[in-house]
């Protein structure tokens, strides 16, 4: 990929597990265990997986909200993995994050105009009047009325609060937005409003998205390329058409078979994958998925399959492909 | 004559709150055939969960109360029963499962003991017979090593296994009606598929009629035969699932179906690209402050003066397809045009 906006290589995040009154470290959760991907300008990479797969940790590590254990994060070619707070600041404005819960991610005591304007205050010189004009423009851009600037978060519905979160993220004209389950907490009829808004903003502002979601239908809709995660590792990575029509990894196959399709005319024969997602505290050895995989062979239990290019542009981590 | 497990007639459940009277369920009627799965679909605040709680007579009073209508379970009107009589039926002939299994599992009692208790209480079984039946039920819902699991406490099970244990408890007494309120919304997609499979199996093997409360149209399409769409406390559309998805009569139903991404690429094998989602403008109105006439009118492109004045009655618009809309014909025409 020529000049990716974001390039992540070998990213690892291990959380210590502490026990007893001495809080001794008894082990590590390998929340993210060697993840690599890149996002081009104006592109959406969908990051899908079930709870505990590490997708949220990837998003937060990329944002440097939590420190990576190993690996590198390059933003517009610049390695930001080890930058200190001051050096990081000019790069921070290039990347922003939108959270799942529009109820807890906005300070209830601040006026929404100030919430949206806060990044401007921190990063951009200019007087109050200039800032108000910019905030009004942002409100307009995300489908809110500028007259609502002086209201408080509780006066808004869930969908409107998510728009406020989007406006705050846009304030500094970022190149990349990490969107962590941005529509999962919203009512069905409101989800479409926010998805359309994100897609329109991408078209108009050449934004790149790292779109983190467990909802495969939403990911198919909004992404250009998709990475599937399972217990800290990417198991499949390709463009969305290939992923949704010719999946290679048995886990991806299981996910696609399990997603309920909203069309009663095409009721499918279900291949239901058995068992639970293992605990990330004690992931199975070898291929993490072998305990639930209907094709698993002896070596799947011992050897970790590498993520490799099985077909041009189509990466999968499976011994059998 | 069709034998109905449940007949609900003009159910009205109101809440008396400081903000005023909230008509959470405002005149809902439906019939449930034996062994059928009926989905009740709608967004938050539409009244689907309060409908479910009303059927179980579990609405907290105060502030809520069933103020009108009847709920006939094989002929018995549950609305008229006093609490002791209702307690004998609840969990025995009509049972419910919830989104969060820990709301119905006792954390300090083993799984086996709590399921056995229901059987001893409702079916006068001996302790040994109840335990045998419990282990059989745990096996039926797909819990491996059921003898062992029966001795464990809820916190020792995973989320998916807890959901199964709760289902086993709900169906242990072989109820005529099982109400499932968002039973898989907290679960991962692969576990969700397993739980939906368990519910379908119970229906096949025990003949249980199921009321499935959900906001997920994919689950409706894949598991239900019949569907009711609710909006602001009222039923706005009802019919068999295929007809409702193929030819929705109410603009709200139509809006919902077209507002969700529908896996176009996956279903077409890559031939069809996803289209821009259609938005339903605005938001669900607060139930304490509903507009006059049709509650959907402020968000509806077809709304006219009559919609803002009179609430539309539920009418049969196509054979077997009912909708409450003054402009149902026009809504369908827009869809086909």
CB atoms within 10 A of CB B264: 17
Q: State residue B331's pLDDT score.
A: 58
Distance from CA of A201 to the nearest CA of B (A): 14
Q: Is the CB of residue A269 less than 8 Å away from at least one CB of chain B?
A: no
Q: State residue B5's pLDDT score.
A: 95
The Cα–Cα gap between A221 and B109 comes to 45
For the stretch B213-229, pLDDT in tens is 999 999 999 999 999 99
For the stretch B304-314, pLDDT in tens is 999 999 999 99
Question: B189 vs A196: CB contact, 8 Å cut-off?
Answer: no
For the stretch B169-188, pLDDT in tens is 999 999 999 999 998 887 88
Chain A residues near residue B280 by CB distance under 8 angstroms: 189, 192-193
The domains of chain A, with CATH numbers, are 6-94+174-265 (3.40.50.300), 102-173 (no CATH)
Q: State residue B65's pLDDT score.
A: 94
Q: State residue B265's pLDDT score.
A: 93
Chain B residues near residue A193 by CB distance under 8 angstroms: 279-281
Question: A272 vs B255: CB contact, 8 Å cut-off?
Answer: no
Chain A residues near residue B236 by CB distance under 8 angstroms: none
Q: Phi/psi class of residue A225: alpha, beta or left (left: φ > 0; alpha: ψ in -120 to 50)? A: beta
Chain B residues near residue A240 by CB distance under 8 angstroms: 265
Alpha carbon B329 to chain centroid, angstroms: 28
Closest chain B residue to A223 measured between Cα atoms?
Answer: B274
Average pLDDT over every residue of B294-305: 94
Distance from CA of B188 to the nearest CA of A (A): 6
The Cα–Cα gap between A276 and A288 comes to 12
Question: A244 vs B266: CB contact, 8 Å cut-off?
Answer: yes
DSSP H or E run through B268: helix B264-268
Chain A residues near residue B162 by CB distance under 8 angstroms: none
What's the pLDDT band for B337 if we cut at 50, 70, 90?
A: very low
Question: B218 vs A270: CB contact, 8 Å cut-off?
Answer: no
Q: Which of B196, B267, B280 sits opposite A261 (nearest CB)?
A: B267
Question: A259 vs B220: CB contact, 8 Å cut-off?
Answer: no
Please provide the average confidence, as pLDDT, over all residues in chain B.
91
Closest chain B residue to A261 measured between Cα atoms?
Answer: B218
Q: State residue B335's pLDDT score.
A: 53
Provide the Cα torsion A60, A64, A65, A68; round to 10°: 70
pLDDT at B336 over 60: no
Token code pair at residue B261: 């991404």
- B260, B268, B275, B321, best to mutate vs chain A, most A CBs in 10 Å: B260
Question: A188 vs B259: CB contact, 8 Å cut-off?
Answer: yes
Establish, for the pair of chains A and B, how many residue pairs have beta carbons separated by less than 8 Å: 147
Q: Which of B222, B270, B280 sits opposite A260 (nearest CB)?
A: B222
Chain B residues near residue A222 by CB distance under 8 angstroms: 261
DSSP H or E run through B322: strand B321-323
Distance from CA of A293 to the nearest CA of B (A): 12
Q: State residue A267's pLDDT score.
A: 67
Q: Which of residues 245-264 of A touch B (CB under 8 A)?
A: 245, 254-264
Q: Which value does ipTM take for this structure? A: 0.87
DSSP helix/strand/coil, B111: helix
DSSP helix/strand/coil, B185: coil
Q: Which of A187, A257, A262 sits opposite B217 (nearest CB)?
A: A262
Distance from CA of B119 to the nearest CA of A (A): 28
Q: Which of residues 23-42 of A touch B (CB under 8 A)?
A: none
Q: State residue B289's pLDDT score.
A: 84
CA distances (Å), origin B139, targets A12, A232, A265, B98, B136: 40, 32, 32, 20, 5
Q: Which of A192, A270, A277 sits opposite B188 (nearest CB)?
A: A277
Q: Phi/psi class of residue B291: alpha, beta or left (left: φ > 0; alpha: ψ in -120 to 50)? A: beta
DSSP helix/strand/coil, A82: coil
Question: A245 vs B283: CB contact, 8 Å cut-off?
Answer: no
Q: Which of residues 73-102 of A touch B (CB under 8 A)?
A: none
Q: State residue B334's pLDDT score.
A: 59
Chain A residues near residue B261 by CB distance under 8 angstroms: 195, 217-218, 220-222
Token code pair at residue B241: 């699932």
Q: Is the CB of residue A130 less than 8 Å away from at least one CB of chain B?
A: no
Q: Is the CB of residue A277 less than 8 Å away from at least one CB of chain B?
A: yes
- A217, A225, A246, A267, best to mutate vs chain B, most B CBs in 10 Å: A217
The Cα–Cα gap between B187 and B192 comes to 6
pLDDT at B1 over 70: no
- β-strands B226-231, B234-240 pairing: antiparallel
Q: For chain A, how many helices (H) and strands (E)?
A: 9, 12
CB B267 within 8 A of CB A266: yes
Chain A residues near residue B217 by CB distance under 8 angstroms: 188, 262
Considering only CA atoms, which of A95, A93, A2, A96 is closest in space to residue A40?
A: A2
Q: Which of B44, B265, B284 sits opposite A245 (nearest CB)?
A: B265
CB B185 within 8 A of CB B196: no
Token code pair at residue A244: 């949704």
DSSP helix/strand/coil, B29: strand
Q: Which of A214, A221, A265 sits opposite B188 (nearest CB)?
A: A214
Q: Which of B188, B218, B246 sits opposite A260 (nearest CB)?
A: B218
Per-residue pLDDT 10s for chain A (321 aa) are 778 999 999 999 999 888 888 888 888 888 999 999 999 999 999 999 988 899 999 999 999 999 999 999 999 999 999 999 899 988 999 999 999 887 788 999 999 999 999 988 888 878 889 999 999 999 999 999 999 999 999 998 888 999 999 999 999 999 999 999 999 888 888 899 999 999 999 999 999 999 999 999 999 999 999 999 999 999 999 999 999 999 999 999 999 999 999 998 876 666 678 888 888 888 899 999 999 999 999 999 999 999 999 999 999 999 998
CB atoms within 10 A of CB B282: 15
Chain A residues near residue B262 by CB distance under 8 angstroms: 217, 261-263
Q: Which of residues 50-69 of A touch B (CB under 8 A)?
A: 50-51
Q: Is the CB of residue A273 less than 8 Å away from at least one CB of chain B?
A: yes
What's the pLDDT band for B251 if we cut at 50, 70, 90?
A: very high
Chain B residues near residue A157 by CB distance under 8 angstroms: 283
Distance from CA of A100 to the nearest CA of B (A): 15
């Amino acid at each position: 990929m020529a000049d990716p906006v974001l390039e992540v290589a070998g990213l690892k995040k291990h959380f210590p597990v502490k026990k007893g009154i001495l809080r001794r470290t008894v082990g590590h959760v390998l929340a993210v265990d060697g993840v690599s991907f890149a996002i081009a300008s104006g592109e959406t990479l969908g990051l899908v997986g079930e709870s505990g797969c590490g997708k949220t940790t990837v998003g937060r590590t990329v944002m440097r909200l939590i420190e990576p254990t190993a690996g590198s994060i390059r933003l517009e070619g610049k390695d930001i993995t080890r930058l200190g707070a001051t050096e990081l600041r000019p790069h921070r404005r290039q990347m922003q994050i939108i959270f799942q819960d529009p109820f807890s991610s906005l300070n209830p005591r601040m006026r929404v105009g100030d919430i949206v304007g806060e990044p401007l205050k921190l990063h951009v010189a200019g007087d109050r009047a200039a800032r108000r004009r910019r905030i009004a423009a942002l409100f307009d851009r995300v489908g809110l009325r500028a007259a609502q600037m002086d209201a408080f978060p509780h006066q808004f519905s869930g969908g409107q609060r998510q728009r406020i979160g989007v406006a705050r993220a846009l304030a500094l004209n970022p190149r990349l937005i990490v969107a962590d389950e941005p529509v999962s907490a919203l009512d069905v009829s409101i989800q479409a409003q926010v998805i359309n808004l994100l897609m329109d903003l991408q078209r108009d502002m050449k934004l790149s998205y790292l779109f983190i979601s467990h909802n495969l239908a939403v990911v198919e809709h909004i992404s250009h390329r998709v990475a599937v995660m399972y217990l800290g590792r990417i198991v499949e990575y390709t463009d969305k058409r290939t992923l949704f029509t010719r999946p290679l990894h048995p886990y991806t196959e299981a996910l696609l078979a399990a997603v309920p399709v909203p069309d009663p005319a095409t009721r499918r024969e279900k291949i239901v994958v058995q068992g639970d997602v293992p605990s990330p505290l004690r992931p199975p050895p070898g291929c993490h998925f072998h305990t639930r995989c209907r094709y698993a062979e002896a070596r799947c239990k011992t050897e970790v399959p590498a993520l490799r290019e099985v077909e041009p542009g189509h990466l999968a981590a499976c011994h059998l492909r | 004559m069709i034998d109905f497990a449940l007949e609900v007639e003009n159910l009205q459940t109101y809440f008396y709150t400081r903000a005023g009277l909230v008509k959470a369920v405002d005149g809902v009627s439906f019939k449930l055939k034996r062994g059928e799965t009926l989905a009740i679909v709608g967004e938050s605040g539409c009244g689907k969960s309060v409908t479910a709680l009303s059927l179980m007579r579990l609405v907290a009073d105060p502030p809520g109360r069933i103020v009108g209508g009847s709920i006939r379970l094989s002929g018995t009107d549950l609305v008229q029963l006093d609490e002791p009589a209702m307690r004998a039926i609840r969990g025995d002939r009509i049972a419910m499962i919830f989104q969060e299994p820990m709301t119905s599992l006792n954390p300090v009692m083993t799984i086996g003991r709590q399921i056995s208790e229901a059987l001893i209480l409702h079916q006068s079984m001996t302790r040994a017979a109840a335990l045998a039946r419990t282990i059989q039920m745990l096996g039926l819902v797909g819990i491996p090593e059921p003898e062992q699991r029966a001795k464990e406490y809820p916190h020792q099970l995973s989320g998916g296994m807890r959901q199964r244990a709760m289902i086993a408890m709900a169906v242990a007494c072989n109820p005529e009606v099982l109400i499932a309120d968002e039973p898989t919304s907290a679960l991962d997609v692969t576990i969700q598929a397993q739980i939906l499979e368990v519910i379908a199996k119970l229906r096949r093997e025990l003949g249980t009629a199921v009321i499935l409360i959900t906001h997920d149209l994919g689950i409706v399409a894949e598991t239900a035969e019949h569907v009711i769409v609710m909006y602001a406390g009222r039923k706005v559309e009802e019919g068999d699932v295929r007809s409702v998805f193929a030819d929705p009569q109410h603009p709200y139903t139509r809006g919902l179906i077209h507002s969700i991404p529908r896996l176009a690429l996956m279903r077409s094998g890559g031939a069809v690209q996803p289209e821009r989602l259609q938005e339903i403008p605005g938001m669900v109105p607060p139930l304490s402050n509903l507009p006059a006439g049709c509650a959907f009118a402020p968000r509806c492109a077809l709304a006219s003066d009559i919609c803002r004045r009179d609430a539309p009655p539920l009418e049969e618009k196509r054979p077997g397809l009912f909708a409450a809309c003054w402009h149902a014909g026009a809504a369908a025409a827009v869809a086909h045009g």
